[in-house]
């Protein structure tokens, strides 16, 4: 069963320098929320930004990771 620490680590490895917060929403190891701040998102649409995160986990999203809620930001982004 994946943990929020494991998800955080994998996102950080895929996007070096990213600031990542992952919460396990239910404590059950299957519903997560990730907030990722990375300059890799510069110039990308939201779709492309979220896909970068989904791509880290491939088929696991929808499988062991039942739900992964994503919020992406660039460092200069005031949102």
Partner 1 sequence: MTNQEIRTFIENAVKENRVMLFMKGTPDQPACGFSMRASGALNALGVQYAALDILPDPRIREELSAVSGWPTIPQLFVDGELVGGSDIVMEMLGSGELADLLGVEQPAPSEAPAPEEQPRQAPIGIENRLS
Chain residues binding partner 1 by CB under 8 A are 46-47, 50-51, 54, 59, 61-62, 67-71
We find the least distance from the C-beta atom of residue 58 to partner 1, in angstroms, to be 8
State the nearest-atom distance from the C-beta of 33 to partner 1, in Å.
9
CA gyration radius, the chain: 12
Contact 72, 57 (CB under 8 A): no
Q: What CA–CA distances, in Å, run from 14 to 2, 25, 54, 55, 78?
A: 17, 22, 11, 9, 24
User: Residue 40 or 54: which CB sits closer to partner 1?
Assistant: 54
Q: How far is the CB of 26 from partner 1 (least distance, A)?
A: 11
């Amino acid at each position: 069963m994946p943990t929020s620490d494991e998800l955080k680590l994998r996102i950080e490895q895929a996007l070096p320098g990213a600031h990542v917060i992952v919460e396990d929403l239910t404590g059950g190891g299957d519903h997560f929320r990730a907030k990722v701040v990375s300059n890799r998102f510069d110039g990308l649409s939201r779709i492309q930004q979220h896909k970068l995160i989904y791509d880290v986990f491939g088929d696991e999203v929808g499988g062991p990771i039942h739900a992964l809620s994503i919020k992406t930001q660039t460092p200069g982004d005031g949102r």
